[in-house]
Chains A and B, each alone.
Chain A
Amino acid sequence: MSLAMQALGFDVEQVRRDFPILGRKVRGRQLVYLDNAATTQKPQQVIDRLVKYYREENSNVHRGVHYLSEVATTAYESARVVIQRFLNARSEKEVIITRGTTEGINLVAQTWGRVNVREGDEVLITAIEHHSNIVPWQLLCAEKGATLRVAPVNDEGEVIVEEYAKLLNERTKIVAFGHASNALGTINPVRQMTQLAHDAGAIVIIDGAQGVPHLPIDVQEIGCDFYAFSGHKVYGPTGIGALYGRESLLDAMPPWMGGGDMILSVSFEKTTYNALPYKFEAGTPNIADTIGLATALEFVASLGLENIASHEHDLLTYATGRLQEIAGLRIIGTARQKASVISFTLEGVHPHDIGTILDQEGIAIRTGHHCAQPLMMRFNVPATGRASFGLYNTRAEADALVDGLRKVIEVFR
């Protein structure tokens, strides 16, 4: 990072040059990419790192005595340390490499959950959860005869903490909630919610898929027991992510998948499992993308997490104001603490039609239920349009969105 950039804090035009895809045209128009909550674009640094790995370092990890295996193992394990520091976990043993947030949540449900949740117990989630933080708990509850409880949200899309606290009791074994909502942008008071859950004797897992891209994360400060996130939401490759878990809990948990790498010794009579974190990493891992994920985390750290948060907050405020100029536009999700995600409906026009018309202008937004159908029902909408901003978006792109929406209205007038 240049000194000039540091002095200015954050130069979005310079940052954009690191993302080659932002220069391309879509349907003859300059791409305006506002679907970052679905997945983010990748900087050249990440693309280059993946290429370098496959061109110069590719080998299997943890077992070879040859040179390339050592190089690959070092790169893979260094990546784990980068993730550990990014989350401020105590030790790299607390970082399990996964395919993403969904796998992390399922891992906890199927290991800690299956051992510790019994008939009559309760699992508590909130009304703004993504399907990936609902269904794994439904599966667990169905298997164990446990009950899934749901903390309600208010009309702004904020979890009602008093109601949440009331639902906690001695039967509550697991509490699972998102750090930030993918559908509405709401940022949950994760520290307070974790403390309340711990007071009731439950463990806490946080779905960090939308937290990591927007907020500095410190799992020790939050106090949670598990924190899952996905690399592709934070400018890294798809199909890679990590699960933070408290070491004492991970130690006591049974393995999830069996196979190579997760064992110390195998005989037909008895198998001894490997130490943490390898106990939870059966099979050859996704080496290249783990290394690519570390490069992405280093990239955002070099820009400054506070700088990114403040840039995105400026975009959120600006875009919210501009969108409110449009008659008939309703913003769903008006929490006081919000990530740069704006869900909206337009009177008389279905979101799907909005998405198609904006696409003709080169503007990519998400339309639909955002894998949060219960939440859509809560707000009595079948679907919304969602513009989600990343670190490389600009005010001009928010203006382009507003102009595009005016075209939508023109078509449907």
Chain B
Amino acid sequence: MSDLRELYQQVILDHNKNPRNYREMPNASRKVEGYNPLCGDHYTIFLQIDGDAITDVSFTGNGCAISKASASVMSSMVKGKSRDEAAKLFDTFHRLVTGDASGLDAAELGRLAAFSGVSEFPARVKCATLAWHTLNAALKGDGESVTTE
């Protein structure tokens, strides 16, 4: 069970059960769907952008615990950040879940650290990064949907 507890840390179980910013945003300036055809995970990310700042983030949709918790943590962490800061967070997160965590310190990771167990489960990396890829597409403003395939 030790690997499983690493993967399903309390933060992840909590965000899965009570996702933050889980709502539609009718006046969103950006709205992009993210889809993982392999397991059917499907989310919509809503953004409110003011100049360079991400002033509000929300999401709807469903999927596994890893993907939903990741979307929830992502939404709460990038709110109020600049585009560059959000891109940097994604880069940090991506390195963490793909096992390239050298040089990442705890302060930089914050709540992202809860996803450290994902790197031991290669099949779940796509679950963890789906919301982030979707955010990325929304920030770039290319297309209406993004898939992990």
Taking beta carbons and an 8 Å cutoff, which residues of A are in contact with B?
349-353, 356-357, 360, 367-369, 373, 376, 382-383, 407, 411-412
Contacts and interface: CB of A to CB of B under 8 A. Distances in A.
Contact of B127 (A352, A357, A373): A352
A122 B4 CA distance: 51
A356 B38 contact: no
Contacts of B39: 350-352, 367-369, 383
Contact of A382 (B3, B4, B7, B63): B63
Contacts of B4: 356-357, 360, 411
B38 A350 contact: no
Contacts of B31: none
Interface in B23-79: 38-42, 62-66, 68
B129 to A, nearest CB: 14
8 closest Cβ pairs, A-B complex: A352-B64, A350-B64, A382-B40, A383-B40, A352-B39, A353-B65, A353-B64, A368-B39
Contacts of A412: 8, 13, 65
Nearest to A384: B40
Given A356-B121, A356-B124, A368-B39, A350 B63 contact: yes
Given A367-B39, A411-B1, A411-B8, 10 more contacts: A349-B65, A350-B65, A352-B41, A352-B124, A356-B7, A356-B124, A368-B38, A369-B39, A383-B39, A411-B5
Interface residues of B, number: 22
B58 to A, nearest CB: 20
A353 B69 CA distance: 12
B39 to A, nearest CB: 5
B123 interface: yes
12 contacts: A350-B39, A350-B62, A350-B64, A351-B64, A352-B66, A352-B124, A356-B123, A360-B1, A360-B4, A369-B40, A382-B62, A411-B8
Contacts of A353: 8, 64-66
A376 B39 CA distance: 12
A372 B1 CA distance: 32
A351 B124 CA distance: 13
Contacts of A407: 1
Nearest to A350: B64
A352 B126 CA distance: 12
Contacts of B41: 352, 382
A351 B66 CA distance: 12
Contacts of B127: 352
A253 B38 CA distance: 36
Contacts of A349: 65
A136 to B, nearest CB: 19
